[in-house]
Structure 1
Amino acid sequence: MAGLACFDFDWSLIDTDSDRFVIQSLSPELRRKLDTSPMQWTDLQNECLKDFYDQGGSGQVVRDALTKVPLDPDMIKACQLLHAKGWTLVIVSDANSIYIDGILQHYGIKQLFSAVITNPAFWDSQDRLHIQRLIPADAPPHGCPLGICSLNICKGQEIDKLQKQLRQQNSANKADGSTAENFAPSQRMLYVGDGRNDYCPALRMQSSQDIYFVRKGRSLEAYLEKSAPNIRDAIKARIILWTRAADILKVVQEIA
């Protein structure tokens, strides 16, 4: 039975942090700035890119860096298999739309994903890249009660919105007699993540048939192992710790 497959991006779909990878490619000095500045993370990315362009950098250097981001072939196979079996694939990430689009395009898998939920980014007329927060600083806060989501995105709430959209699309397809693949709220869900902000969306999985892929050695695993029992007990999905994409591919081959 197909379902909804959600992927975080950094250290989940890809094998690095795209923000740090790109900035390191542009300038070691700017990479050090990422580790020392108290600025909000998304704003800091935009500031580093501004510094890069002010120093004479070009947009082509940024685009070239995206082609060097590592993506495990087994992760690509897992995504292709899920898509072929009728799963709806989405990315929910605190990266940005330009980085994600460029990397997916480079590996030829952009068409596998029905939606990419992330921070918006755009190239201006001078070929400078701008990155913005998904939830702007002057907008009402998302109000997630967990207190661990980033200021600019609550992935759990974004999953809620996405599922609502899919249900509406499903209803519209039924109304007009469309034979397009329909999404049912009861379908299975899997989520691939590595960070603490990947905990909130996992609470949307309410069945032991759902699968929560948690990357070993990252902050999400440490959060789940905290002494407070309600943290891990709140997860109803089957938790699978993974190290390499081959671990995910093996499970996907069994369930898809």
Structure 2
Amino acid sequence: MRDSVFNCCFAPPHPPPGRRDESHFQGNRALAPPPNDRRFLIFFDFDETLVDECSDDAVVSAAPGGSLPSWLKDTYRPGRYNEYMQRVLAYLAEQGVTPGTIISTIERLPPCPGIPALLRFLMSRPPRDFEVVCVSDANTVFIEAWLQNLGFRQLFLRIFANPAHFDDNGQLQLRPFHSHSCLRCPMNMCKAEIVRQYTAQRVRERGGRRYQKVLYVGDGANDFCPSLTLSPGDTAFPRRDFPMHRLIQEMGEAKPGEYKANVVPWSSGEDIINRLRKIVEEKP
């Protein structure tokens, strides 16, 4: 039996400012009822979508000499990156890399061009416009740290990512998000399953009322899969010339008309803002 997204670890909404909330590492817990009047549901990837690097690669810079030994790099197996990162984090702890060093490394990650402006735009909109969710193959500690540091954590109603926490010895413990049967995705996460299950559950919680549009912002090959769940009235925002964009283009050439969502490539968050301004003005 496959795991349900809602039996997995995810971050609760709106932790108190200035404090990293680790209560979501405790498993299932009662959450405050989410707002049910939002018009639009927008999903964001994290690595190379919100931040302009891969956070897992960036944390390697904290290792002695700024790189990993060859014997460790050679243990990587395709589709099992989460397991590989568990070994990387254990190695960093063995080398004396502290939690503070890891967090400060993540906090310094640069945002993608225009992303702070985009997040400020979403925060400035009327409360009933956007329900914002992060779905990422990074981990909860990295995402929470970065969003909190830039003051954007309160924007995100949910964060779906690989569960992580620092143990008593200071090692960042990492687990896979869930199991699934999707052949496109790495073993630890299928974002399409997360998007489908979350959207369906939210519609039930909203008394059957659907969102006016579902929007997805991403860059990678693992963002292509969830974009296939979007309907013709929805919009995919692939980062221009990144794998998600190329896969959408290839599908359009190989199977014209099969990709359902509207496609708006972006190079800067300003490109997304421009389209969102038009979307919020559309009549239901």
Structure-2-length-normalised TM-score? 0.76
Matches for 1:26-37 after TM superposition, within 5 Å: 26-27=63-64, 28-30=66-68, 36-37=74-75
2:47 aligns with one of 10, 23, 44: 10
User: How much does 1:30 deviate?
Assistant: 1.9
Q: Counterpart of 2:131?
A: 88
Q: Deviations over 1:186-242 (max 9, x none)?
A: 4201111111111121122112x3211111221122222337745563322111111
Q: Counterpart of 2:180?
A: 142
Tell whether the 8 Å contact from 2:219 to 2:245 is kept in structure 1 after alignment.
yes
2:196 aligns with one of 160, 167, 175: 160
* Residues 53 and 155 (structure 1), Cα distance of their counterparts in 2 relative to 1, 3 Å cut: same
1:196 aligns with one of 206, 221, 225: 221
Q: Counterpart of 1:21?
A: 58
Looking at structure 2, the residues matched to 154 and 164 of structure 1 have their Cα atoms a distance apart, in angstroms, of 16
Dislocated runs of 4+, deviation >6 Å: 31-34
* Residues 248 and 218 (structure 1), Cα distance of their counterparts in 2 relative to 1, 3 Å cut: same
Unaligned runs of 5+ in 2: 1-37
Q: Deviations over 1:157-208 (max 9, x none)?
A: 111111122123223xxxxxxxxxxx8324201111111111121122112x
* Aligned: 1:169 with 2:193: no
Q: Counterpart of 1:225?
A: 249
How many residues matched? 237
Tell whether the 8 Å contact from 1:75 to 1:249 is kept in structure 2 after alignment.
no
Percent identity over the alignment is 27
Looking at secondary structure, tell me which structure has more helix per residue: 1
Shifted more, 86-95 versus 40-49: the winner is 40-49
Looking at structure 1, the residues matched to 72 and 217 of structure 2 have their Cα atoms a distance apart, in angstroms, of 25
Looking at structure 1, the residues matched to 46 and 244 of structure 2 have their Cα atoms a distance apart, in angstroms, of 14
Looking at structure 2, the residues matched to 217 and 81 of structure 1 have their Cα atoms a distance apart, in angstroms, of 24
* Aligned: 1:58 with 2:98: yes
Indicate the RMSD between aligned Cα atoms, in angstroms: 2.3
Name the amino acid aligned to 2:181. Answer: G
* Aligned: 1:238 with 2:276: no
* Residues 202 and 186 (structure 1), Cα distance of their counterparts in 2 relative to 1, 3 Å cut: same
Looking at structure 2, the residues matched to 55 and 242 of structure 1 have their Cα atoms a distance apart, in angstroms, of 40
Q: Counterpart of 2:34?
A: none
Unaligned runs of 5+ in 1: 136-140, 172-182
